[in-house]
Chains A and B, each alone.
Chain A
Amino acid sequence: MSATFVSTSYLGTALLPTIAQTQSSLANLEVESSTGQYADLGLQLGDQSGYELSLKNQNDLLQTLTTGNGLVTMNLTASQDALNSLVTDAQNAVSGLTAWNSAGGAADATLQNLGVNALQSLIAATNTTSNGQYVFGGLNSGVAPMADYFSSTPSAAKTAIDSAFQTAFGCLPTDAAASTITAAQMQTFLNGPFAAQFSGSNWTSNWSSASSANASAQIAPGETIETSTNANQPGFQQLAEGYAMLSEFGGSQLSSAAQQTVASAANALITQGLSSITATEAGVGASLQRVTDANASMSSQMTILQTEIGNLDDVNAQAVATQLNTLSTQLQTAYELTAQLQKLSLAQYLPVS
């Protein structure tokens, strides 16, 4: 037969596959126009699926880190506030000492009150919590880093200081016998047995439960910073030593000269502590800045990632709309043609006899 022969069965069914295909494409396009993404991402992306998934995972990780950085910022800010209050207290103590000195340095309760108040604030500030964690505890953030010096049952630190005094002078500062202690003897005691209470194992067993290692956390992929400070730093030791000196020996039975020695030693310690704490505060401020920078950098990375994910996942809305139009026109044409072809039969045109 000739090449132009077309069988009736083919003529009747030629457009059926086209219609079915167009209908399924239309269904996909409807999904795509409503979601703005490909109807079947896996089928569309093929071997790029893993890449797309890794971009999404990376985006989620950055999001998680940004959320976690909120917590880090909160902890660091709490540390910063506490350090700030320590600085203020220390400055007040120094000016209190200066005022006491210029008022004549009388052996009254002024020094003791100054010391007790400052030591209480130090302990309170050191035991600052943020989100249930002690910010100056180092790794050991679950335990209050500084024991209460003024507890009703005498604290270990208080007992140890008393016993050191007893060993050196054979009496307590509150005993009348203490009035015979000379300024030079007091200076020796302060530099020796008393100073030893605030360093080494005496500090860690009597004063501080903090860990010298600081907690660290990832603030951006590959960037880990220390997110806490700890109460074992020299600044805390110096302040505690200076304040404890005042609270123990100020207003005691010590001679006026000995108290002058105590005041001037305390002044020196508190001043040292002040500069040390200020340095720590600067470190915390720098960490805060790093978190802020990390957040900004992650935010711009996320924008890039989301753009890239969008490039892979998103359909061109205009293209989809145009395609929808084209396909529905095509489908209408196919229906029209099918109906027309059914009419095209010689049987329709033969005269009925």
Chain B
Amino acid sequence: MSLSAAFNIINSAFLSNAAQSAVISSNISNAGTPGYSREVANVLTNSYGGSDVASVTREANSALLEQVNASTSQAASEQALANGLAKLAQTVSDSATSSSASGSTENGNSPSAMLANLQDALTTYEASPSDASAGQAVVTAASNLAASLNSGSAAAQQVREQADSDMASSVSTINSLLNQFSQVDATIVGGLATGANVSAAEDTRDTILTQLSQQIGISTATSANGSTSIYTDSGVTLYQTGDVNTLSFTATPTLTAGANGNAVTVDGVPITGPSAPMAIQSGALAGLANLRDTVAPEYQAQLDQIAGGLINAFAESDQSTTTPGLPSLPGLFTAPGATGLPATTDTTGLAASIEVNPAVDPSQGGDVSLLQDGGVNGSNYVYNATGAAGYTGRIQGMIAAITATQSFDPSAGLGSSDGLADYANASVSWLQAQNQQASNQVDYQNSVVSQATAALSNATGVSLDTEMTNMLNIENSYTTTAKLLTTVDDMFTALLDATNPA
């Protein structure tokens, strides 16, 4: 060993200290940066006994990142669904805060509550059938019921249209993120090949993946050269070695009942919708597609079934003795242009168009007394043949029809046979149950996300205290090295003085 060797060691110590200080500075300055992974300087003993910073490792944890991304996707999907359901639930919720004593406001504006109001109005009308104001009250209650169905259907349509337009923006976000990802991935692959520090690029890559998982459920795989491939959670390739498979989607601005929105496709293969072979399972896009294609249409179908059931329940049957008998025709409720009663399997769009028959609505020139006597569809349909003022048979028939069992289309999800009032109640139950479930799922998934994020942050984040401790170590090491340098220098001076007598 020579003193000059000691000089070399001291020199490498200074270099190593500087490199470690750089890493610590970077860590400290990014302590608050989301998605930043802590860097660690790997110090090695070099060939002549000094120390070198051989490499800088990024403290990544891909398993935890995957978990964060997966739970983020789930949460985003449930959130999209819950937002839509909350909007739909507003149309049926009975408000607890109402101070009004009247039933209509306390019980909300759901078709179910409005149907009950109609039943109440008919019951009052039955007690005083010749009272025109009681008849008018029936028409008003019927109008409110029709309006409730109209607005419920409009809300379902609005939720679907909003979901459709959100899907469009989600698709454009995904495509833009995929393009960014392809650039970052190229940087990483190139950097790794040349041995450059790619930590910053890797941080960006992870951030993009987390943003992507907000929109769509993904899984990733990293190849030997450091390139990361992205697949949807259903297995469709979105990015692989420089090739971006962009999503394509055409928005549909108007989605009336029964109209289907377009599916999101990758390479011509649909990834949303009930018929998609490889449908995505999570992410906002999946939640929106589920809302647009399954949940909201099902609710809309239930409203249509209620509307069809109403037209049928209040229909007038032939009262004449003509043979063959005439077909039953719409009474109190009808739809514009209706020429007969709707079949239970053919009610699409009825909730949006159902209205009180103009023939009984005084504000449209109609005659309320047709409710008591029948005859909305002409003299063959008059129930009260003698015109007696106290006749209540037709009114009693309508009241009975509200609770009478009738058949419904089972594809609306509420069974095939029920009383109209019970069916309307079941629809409210169905919607609120979906709402409750989605809301609970959102709470649950959000807590999973925050736990996963905490775990990831603890595994890969920066602790200022640790960095500071390391910095103190380096400071001490620097002080000692400087002292060492002075000492060796003194020794050289002493040696030179001894060998060079003045």
Q: List chain A positions with a Cβ less than 8 A from chain B.
A: 1, 5-10, 12, 14, 17, 31, 35, 37-54, 56-57, 60-61, 63-65, 67-69, 71-72, 131-133, 137-143, 211, 213, 215-218, 224, 227-228, 313, 345-347, 350
B112 contacts the other chain (Cβ, under 8 Å)?
A: yes
Residues of B within 8 A of A71 (CB): 127-128
Residues of A within 8 A of B469 (CB): 346
Q: Which of B222-266 contact A (CB under 8 A)?
A: none
Q: How many angstroms from the CA of A42 to the CA of B88 in the assembled complex?
A: 11
Question: 11 pairs across A/B with beta carbons < 8 Å?
Answer: A1-B459, A7-B31, A8-B462, A8-B465, A17-B446, A38-B96, A42-B431, A49-B429, A49-B432, A50-B426, A140-B389
Contact indicator B461/A8 (Cβ below 8 Å): yes
Contact indicator B428/A49 (Cβ below 8 Å): yes
Residues of A within 8 A of B31 (CB): 7-9
Knowing A54-B425, A56-B94, A215-B392, say if A68 contacts B130 (CB, 8 Å).
no
Residues of A within 8 A of B126 (CB): 68, 217-218
Residues of B within 8 A of A227 (CB): 127
A220 to chain B, nearest CB (A): 11
For B416-444 the 0/1 string (1 means CB < 8 A from A) is 00000110011111111101110100000
Q: Which 5 A-B pairs have the closest CB atoms?
A: A7-B461, A142-B389, A50-B429, A57-B116, A46-B436
B203 contacts the other chain (Cβ, under 8 Å)?
A: no
Residues of A within 8 A of B95 (CB): 41
Q: How many angstroms from the CA of A38 to the CA of B117 in the assembled complex?
A: 24
B107 contacts the other chain (Cβ, under 8 Å)?
A: yes
- CB nearest neighbor in B for A56: B107
Contact indicator B107/A8 (Cβ below 8 Å): no
B18 contacts the other chain (Cβ, under 8 Å)?
A: no
Q: How many angstroms from the CA of A7 to the CA of B454 in the assembled complex?
A: 9
Contact indicator B390/A133 (Cβ below 8 Å): yes
B478 contacts the other chain (Cβ, under 8 Å)?
A: no
B123 contacts the other chain (Cβ, under 8 Å)?
A: yes
Residues of A within 8 A of B431 (CB): 42, 49
B124 contacts the other chain (Cβ, under 8 Å)?
A: yes
A8, A53, A64: the one contacting B120 at CB < 8 Å is: A64
B179 contacts the other chain (Cβ, under 8 Å)?
A: no
Residues of B within 8 A of A313 (CB): 96
B97, B120, B461, B465: the one contacting A10 at CB < 8 Å is: B461
Q: How many angstroms from the CA of A72 to the CA of B129 in the assembled complex?
A: 12
Contact indicator A50/B112 (Cβ below 8 Å): yes
4 further contact pairs, Cβ within 8 A, besides A218-B399, A346-B465: A7-B462, A9-B31, A42-B94, A50-B428
- CB nearest neighbor in A for B36: A9
Residue among B95, B128, B435, B469 facing the most chain A CB atoms (10 A cut-off): B128
